[in-house]
Structure 1
């Protein structure tokens, strides 16, 4: 008996070891479990909770149906009504577009002929509750209360998968509304065709922020269509196809003794035929959902953080998630894509990307991708160069290959230079340089004034200060590329022009100010707290306090304009301690996340806290960076203090929480801030790792006491990308009081 008991215990031990081994080998949820896609769906975050994969072509997500600023992504956490589930969405932008190809399940026959002017009049809308709503990387679920239908969504790279679960014995039906639009978007011409018992196809041509947007689609259902009602411009059509400005359909399905109805949807900018080619025919819903989680887990595993605080992991991995949803895949499976002029071209040896929010993302999002997805960076550059082939100018903000010309500067330039400086070579460097040079030497968007006066006079163009400072930075970037390619005359020319900020610095006030074309008189009266959104102003979405610091290319020279480190740091400290009052009658809504006059909710502020490093007071950078990390991000739907802007708000957190930040994003260097995690492991290419350790770090111990790099004393406030990609260990010792001797040596 004793031997038998021992045998049983031994068997249990072996079995438990096997179970434990199995669990350790299954990493499907090790990183994705920390992601909360609802972070940023409240407040002014403007994110969506729906399903996509990293840089996916589709973003299948719920649409509340409201056309307001905080519904730019189609969804806001404050809402409780859903109008349907469309397939294209913008993550965290300030302008609403897309929400194309809307599907909505229902359980009864509806009258779709009535004209609707608001969401309240939509016959297929439904209430829902957050209690019955879930989101995870690559999947989304919500229960529709009115028709009592459970909706599940997932996606692969180019195909969205829907699963609708109806109540037993309910009618099974799906609405498709191609006229549905929010915000700036408006359907111009749409079409629907019932191809066979299981398949429908169609197209939607629209205008809005993207003036020439053409989307083709195909949808395949898991059950045969038993009945259909097609409409064109609110009139019922008896044929199997309908065309008009506004087309819609209600499809009914045989139940086949099953409550579940699945549908696959694929899109293309080129044709229905390409959409069919993009469709994942073999995969089913469950397999795709599981694969999407694995793909996300792999993408999130690029950076591993160690901390006893789970909420910090949630904020970090959600940020890492948001930093990899845009830009989005635009070229089809066969490489084809549509350009703004309706040319169909083929991306050979690269994937074309769209949704390039460059004014935002050049700062930290694009530099982060050089670590997370360097193979995609050259594709992004090639996408911009393809745009240049058509327009003979580099893009500003492209959506579905359309130039929106939104925001200031030409920040495709620092993205290209950043890639080249970091050794990414999957694009034609000579062509890229010529594109940058031609772009900065043309006369559009105020460059004619910039070339004539050396700056942009305030009386000739709105937002003159911001535009001048950003062109000066773009010039510096062109100069660096010229230097790398040994174009010495161009290097000297653009380097000299990159000092344009000197024209606008007012030593009396310490601010960058609008200057008249006479080269002497300032724009009066002057109030550094005044904001006027996008018109009759010298600053873009902000004021003088927020925009006077944009000289990342030459911080030392910028400090010299203040005459001393002491004067500079006093003014910089005042930025964070000044009252947060913003004056004016048309204040920009983008001014959010205020700490004093510092506005973390908008991108122009993002580099500023790191400038103390250059003025001999890095402990101030450490203090304010930690303060921003602690106060501007949390785990609620209001967890972002401003627009996510296609990953930039999150990229700031990813970098800063590790203790790094690309203050000058085209320099190939990262400033040192204040690491928040005990240990960070960046998993690089070629199986290399770069580890950042913060010994004794805590909510009070955020000051750097000392540091070593690979065991050697490290006493500087910047580290190069080249050093990081070699692999190694950067070890910090943290403390509660600043060490004013660390990092002050040049």
Structure 2
């Protein structure tokens, strides 16, 4: 009977897919398990693009590789929770855990883990399914604020659903939880917790498709009829509730769980996102949303593995930031204040800005016209509520994780691209405030012209990143006619030069006396941020972060040729790191290039700035081929909320935003034969690679809309005009292409 039901379900959904999208559906190339192995830290469960709900299995194990709650190496499931972080290096969330059981637990506080096999597991965008070893088949799908569970119980089971608000892993700990049974099919409550974000509040409402006949709360209270059950509640640090249903062979019980940041009344309203008990329709709606997302950037290639890598990467670029406000724009922030976004717009959270300012946010200016304004204004709402722009916003709490003030390049990029719905003056005010904050080493950075290592950790990383952010401020100041500010911040943007050591060819930490910190080892890595001179890496990986002034960096080396030689050494140096507390984030090595962490992401493209573009073409193709594949460990390091994937989307297409606020995309070596951007203005921009192959990795020549094109980059505005950029590829470098300095990126308007 169960096998027939499975086949019926598959046939029904396959038919729906074929009817709605045709046989060229792109979601079939997305594998949500990519990144769940290795150190990718992604989750395989169900979500819609940027949804508040990410309904996914948790293994019940703490540890770095379980930051998302799930790791492919595991064989146990502890529950299905409704909030997850995608690809981060710190574990949090995992709110409102639900677990189907074949019988109620005698010990209501008992943790439970059930075995499963990957052979009985399946996932696609917006859908997850597993048959656990106890015979229960769990299917999950979602809308923006509501998770939809479908549980099929085996013969002889006493169908039970356990709601466990005590469930937590890694950094997260519940501080107050509450559940109220409203009637025989509805319960509401909340879960307050502390963790990486010190204050988190999640309200929920849950409704079952069948009436439960008994409830057991972990305060020992049990209700067995409707009169006893009404308004039963429990409150404490770890409330659990078991819902018991009549025994029935092959019984299917469905459950909807809606979330809100403000109240369970709003969560009850959010249940209406799924008005009927039609799992197939909800699943189809989620799949259709993902299909539309994947249609924004499409590729042509005969390599199905490359398609799986590309479309899974594109999928991962649309997970975070996540929706935080209710349907009417109302939300409760970490301070406990309730606000409403103007005009019914949405508030977002989970801004991993140290990672995503580099490639993900520039990609959004081409792929997210409907949402990006709200994301930008969410950052400004954070500023209004906290006095500074976010560094790493989680549940509207400032985690202050990582370095730089990288909301600035995101806002600068949007202002310089004249993004609609963003108040440039208001954003500029916030940028100036962040650049003059009295924490995070900024006063010492301003006083000394660099951040002294004896004043705070991360001297090199912080100085170089602040210098870049200051360049971004300068460009906005110029656009807004603020001449004095432009001069000030252009001067601050040169701070990187203070730390260059011509004797070693590296950026080195200095103390407040102006002396380099000794001893020096370019392979040395220290993960303790207070002690580290280079955050999550070493001198090799951090010395080249000058995306706003590569010409100035080359001048410090003495010539373009000398900088090119140093870049060559980076890719051929021994792939070793020294130290007693080496950062695990530096991974995916080619020489000392570490693709598994973000500081390296722009480096392969730097050859374009010094007249050696064929080396960029060589290295980019090598990175795509070696650092991405279509297995669970298909990422070289943490996926980092979309950044690792955004690099792949850009680079497989043949471009990359080396300076993410410059409005120019630098050429690499396209792996796809054709990449098409469906643009916000209704036009299309296509990148075609003629004679493309695994051997033909070098650009011989280029045309734009049929005319010879000599530049090694293309501007954002040129892409918005639509048209076709054609690369003629070949097996050997054409060193004449890009030889003229006037064709190099980073020239006009930068210095």
Corresponding residue of 1:228: 215
8 Å contact from structure 1 (residues 377, 419) kept in 2: no
Give matches, 1:199-218, under 5 Å.
Answer: 199-218=186-205
Cα-to-partner distance string for 1:500-539 (whole Å, 9 max, x where unaligned) = 00100111111000012122x1110000000010231211
Is 2:702 aligned against 1:714? no
Separation in 2, partners of 1:342, 1:661? 40
Q: Is 1:160 equivalent to 2:150 in the alignment?
A: no
* Residue number in structure 1 paired with 2:8: none
Superposed, which structure 2 residues align to 1:134-149 within 5 Å? Answer: 134-146=122-134, 148-149=135-136
| Aligned partner (choices 153, 157, 165) of residue 170 of structure 1 | 157
Question: Could you say which residue in structure 2 is the equivalent of 1:133?
Answer: 121
Q: How does 1:419-498 map to 2 (within 5 A)?
A: 419-498=414-493
Between the aligned partners of 2:390 and 2:729, the Cα distance in structure 1 is 43
Post-superposition offset of 1:295: 0.5
Give the distance between the partners of 1:86 and 1:538, measured in 2 at CA: 38
| Aligned equivalents of 1:98, 1:581: Cα separation in 2 | 34
> Given that residues 214 and 222 in structure 2 are in contact (C-alpha distance below 8 angstroms), is that contact kept between their aligned partners in structure 1?
no
Pick from 233, 236, 245 the counterpart of residue 244 of structure 1: 236
Q: Distance in 1 between matches of 2:24 and 2:149?
A: 22
Per-residue Cα deviation, 1:150-180 (whole angstroms, up to 9, x for no partner): 0000001111100000113421100111001
Q: CA deviation at 1:736?
A: 0.6
Please point out which of 189, 196, 207 is paired with 2:176.
Answer: 189
In the superposition, the TM-score normalised over structure 2's length comes to: 0.94
Cα distance between partner residues in 1 of 2:20 and 2:440: 55
State whether residues 28 and 293 of structure 1, in contact with CA within 8 Å, keep that contact through their aligned partners in structure 2.
Answer: no
In the TM superposition, what are the counterparts of 1:562-573 in structure 2 within 5 Å?
562-573=557-568
**Which residue number corresponds to residue 553 of structure 1?**
548
Residue matched to 1:102: 97
Give the one of 283, 288, 310 matched to 2:304: 310
Name the residue aligned to 2:329.
335
Deviation at 1:408, TM superposition (A): 0.4
Match of 1:323 in 2: 317
Tell which deviates more after alignment, 85-94 or 707-716.
707-716
- Report the equivalent of 1:66: 61
Return the offset for 1:678. 1.0
For residue 660 of structure 2, what is the aligned residue in structure 1? Answer: 665
Q: Report the CA distance between 1:686 and its aligned residue.
A: 3.0
Which deviates more, 92-101 or 247-256?
247-256
Hey, what's the Cα distance between the residues in 2 that align with 1:691 and 1:329?
31
Structure 1 residue 532 and structure 2 residue 526: aligned?
A: yes
Mapped to 1, the partners of 2:416 and 2:246 lie a distance apart of 59
Q: Is the 8 A contact 1:211 1:402 kept in 2?
A: yes
Output the CA distance in 2 between the equivalents of 1:330 and 1:442. Answer: 27
Q: Secondary structure at the match of 1:128?
A: strand
Cα displacement string for residues 644-696 of structure 1 (whole angstroms, at most 9, x for unaligned residues): 00000000000001000000001111111101111111111232000100000
Q: Deviations over 1:431-468 (max 9, x none)?
A: 10000001101221000101110111111111111001
* TM-score under structure 1 length normalisation: 0.94
Q: Aligned partners of 2:582, 2:22: CA distance in 1, in Å? A: 48
Q: Distance in 1 between matches of 2:494 and 2:620?
A: 28
Match of 2:252 in 1: 260
Which residue matches 1:15? none
| Cα RMSD for the two superposed structures | 1.4
Deviations 1:99-155 (A, max 9, x none): 0100000011212345x6xxxxx2x32000000000000000001112x10000000
Any runs of at least 4 consecutive aligned residues in structure 1 with deviations exceeding 3 A, and if so which?
A: 22-29, 235-239, 255-258
* CA deviation map 1:536-594 (0-9, x unaligned): 12110000000001100111111111111111101001101100010001000001101
Change (3 A) 1:237 1:166: closer
2:696 corresponds, among 685, 701, 708, to: 701
| Contact 2:367–2:680 (Cα < 8 Å) also in 1 | no
In the TM superposition, what is the alpha-carbon distance from 1:744 to its structure 2 partner?
A: 2.1
| Unmatched segments (≥5 aa) in structure 2 | 1-14, 224-228, 743-751
Q: Residues 171 and 585 from structure 1, CA distance in 2 versus in 1: closer, same or farther, beyond 3 angstroms?
A: same
Deviation at 1:374, TM superposition (A): 2.3
- CA deviation digits over 1:403-439, x for unaligned, max 9? 1000001101111111122221212111100000011
What are structure 1's unaligned runs of at least 5 residues? 1-19, 117-121
CA shift at 1:28, angstroms?
A: 7.5
Matched, 1:509 2:497: no
Q: Which residue of 2 aligns with 1:731?
A: 726
The answer as to whether partners of 1:28 and 1:294 remain within 8 angstroms in 2 is no
Offset at residue 258 of structure 1 (A): 5.9
- Taking a change above 3 Å as real, the CA distance of residues 588 and 23 of structure 1, as seen in their structure-2 partners, is closer
Q: Secondary structure at the match of 2:188?
A: strand
- Counterpart residue number, 1:282: 275
CA contact (8 A) 1:223 1:254 kept: no
Size of the aligned set, in residue pairs, is: 715
CA deviation string 1:193-233 (max 9, x = no partner): 1101110111000000010100000001000010010114x
Per-residue CA distance 1:367-392 (angstroms, 9 max, x = gap): 11111112322111100111111111
Change beyond 3 A, Cα 1:579–1:724: same
